[in-house]
Amino acid sequence: MVGELDDLPAELPLKFEFIINLKTGKQIGLTVPPNMLVGANRVIR
C-alpha cells in the first residue's frame, strides 16, 4: 500500500537561481527591464 505524504523525505533548497531567457521572452513579446537583467544569476541570449 502507498505511504502517507508525511512519510516522504523532503529537503529544502539551499540555493535559488534567477535565470532569464531573452530569446524565448522576445518570441512571446516580453520586454525584460534592465534592472531584472542585473539581478539575474544567468541570462540566456
Q: Write out the chain's pLDDT in tens, 45 residues.
A: 566 777 888 889 899 999 999 999 999 999 999 999 999 999 999
Give the whole-angstrom CA distance, residue 8 versus residue 2.
11
User: Quick check: pTM over 0.75?
Assistant: no
pLDDT recorded at residue 6: 77
Cell numbers placing 24 = 524565448
Give the whole-angstrom CA distance, residue 14 versus residue 31.
30
pLDDT recorded at residue 3: 67
Q: What are phi and psi of 44, to 5 degrees?
A: -95, 120
Instruction: With beta carbons less than 8 A apart as the criterion, state whether 20 and 36 touch.
Output: yes
